[in-house]
Amino acid sequence: MEPLWKFDYETGDVAFPMNFRIGYIFQAGGFKYNAYVEPEWMVYRSERTSLDTTNFGVRFGFRIFLPE
């Protein structure tokens, strides 16, 4: 799930999460692999925002790319 920026024009609620990804792509056995870590934090959230109240999280990922 990617960070979701929220702008509610009716109530004035806003939420601004930010994240960045640090990863490494390598090749082994004819396949390419992408391993990464992605921290995310809530930069700003209105008091009445209905989004999750978590302020920080970390996502780990691993992808395999098939050969062409």
d(CA 57, CA 65): 26
**For 7-65, how does the pLDDT look when each residue is reduced to its tens digit (9 = 90+)?**
888 888 888 889 999 999 999 888 999 999 999 898 888 877 665 667 888 989 999 99
pLDDT for residue 51? 58
5 vs 39, which has greater pLDDT?
39
Beta strands in 1-68 (DSSP E): 6-7, 14-19, 22-28, 31-45, 56-65
Whether the pTM exceeds 0.75: the reply is: no
d(CA 50, CA 15): 9
| Exposure on the CB side of residue 44, measured as CA atoms within 13 A | 6
pLDDT for residue 25? 94
